[in-house]
Chains A and B, each alone.
Chain A
Amino acid sequence: MTDFQWDALIKYLPYFFDGLVMTVELTVIAVILGTVLGLFAGMGRLTKIAPLRWLSNIYVGFFRGTPLFVQILLIHFAVMPGIFGKSSAFVSGIVALSLNAGAYIAEIFRAGIQSIDRGQMEAARSLGLTQGQAMRTVILPQAVRRMLPPLGNEAIMLLKDSSLLAAISLQEMTFYAKLMQGKTYLAWEPYLTLALMYLVLTMLLAQVVKFLERKYGTL
């Protein structure tokens, strides 16, 4: 540790910065897509329409029951080439992360919706609102407030899990740290830097979540 190679680190810092932009980009896109997927899959698990419910259950079951790392490999090396004939690390990464996040967020939505007293739905329906209208204007706005803490956790998990995408050579932070190790044979410099970068990002994200909770969380 005493001979920490600052000059080598400084030389690679621009790469780390590129990687950071990619990591943030991946996280933001996957959180958004995952939330949309999670909303549909979560409602799918609650619907009376049996085929939709089965489909949602299979989706959630598969992506929660297998490792993200395996999902990434499967999607990048098998599914994407199988469908499109080729595979881009960025697209595979987004697809894998979003599908995985969607499965967890589906459970967050399901629990959030089920936590709302059924009298709320009954009151809305008794006023003549359709199931969809009642869901949109009465149930979901209340459910989402309760979902903010677990959604925040999921976003933090996603940010950290995006490091696995280095395995398919997607050029995010971890990829560049590995690159630096390969080129310089240094380990402390790239990986300690990498760990601190994740730590700073997750702490920032936690602050954002805290702010949102304070702003919208109280009822």
Chain B
Amino acid sequence: MITVRNLHKSFGQNEVLKGVDCEIKEREVVCVIGPSGSGKSTFLRCLNRLEDITSGEVIVLEKNITDPRIDINAVRREVGMVFQRFNLFPHKTVLENITLAPQMVRKESKAKARETALELLGKVGLRDKANAYPNQLSGGQQQRVAIARALAMNPKIMLFDEPTSALDPEMVGEVLDVMKKLAQEGMTMVVVTHEMGFAREVGDRVLFMDQGYIMEEGKPADLFGNPQNERTRNFLSKVL
């Protein structure tokens, strides 16, 4: 579903990604771990071109999104994204947050969008919050709404950018539970995370990034149980 070849990304003089190669298959849950500043969030943001790609190829759903002529909005419709800081629209209710894109981009009727939204809110356990505003919700609730908002577009791939990093500890579980359910339903997911437990339990594959490279990748059991790379060992010894 996603193929990345020799991806480079620089911010001015600062090269953040120094040649990343990676292949993500349908229904696969790939967790990206690594220290701060390793480039893992930037890598994720290149997958829907929220960051301009400096060089290399990123092919998402058979479209080369590095090509400036492709319709990036058409690709983004199929790729949901969940952010560290939720980024819900504060001037819209929970329901309006979720129905906005289906109505505006997919041209769904108001009734249909509403029906889907309520169904998704049920799925994330927030049906009773449909008419609340984001600032009336806890962080965990906001993040679950953000997941529902992304799912409302019926995406083929979901990207998660440290979805639990801005949450109070007691709210991490409720968000991870929703993500786990999603993974079990067969959603293709790329998850940048510091939740090693989640990566180990839910991930099909784990990528360890450091200094702009994927240093090591493998099945969670192998990467966590028997890391080959010195840096991976070093990192894991600090976080586990």
Contacts and interface: CB of A to CB of B under 8 A. Distances in A.
Do A and B come together as binding partners? yes
A133 interface: yes
A115 interface: no
B85 interface: yes
Contacts of B111: none
Contacts of B85: 117, 119
A141 B76 contact: no
A119 B87 contact: yes
Interface residues of A, number: 19
A126 interface: yes
A126 B157 CA distance: 12
Contacts of A127: 76-77, 80, 100-101, 105, 149-150, 153
B122 to A, nearest CB: 21
Interface residues of B, number: 25
Contacts of A123: 81, 83, 87-89, 146
A41 B150 CA distance: 33
A122 interface: yes
Interface of B: 48, 50, 73-74, 76-77, 79-81, 83, 85, 87-91, 100-101, 104-105, 135, 146, 149-150, 153
Q: Nearest 7 pairs between A and B by C-beta?
A: A128-B77, A123-B87, A127-B101, A126-B81, A119-B87, A128-B105, A128-B76
9 contacts: A119-B87, A122-B50, A123-B83, A123-B89, A123-B146, A124-B101, A126-B50, A137-B104, A142-B91
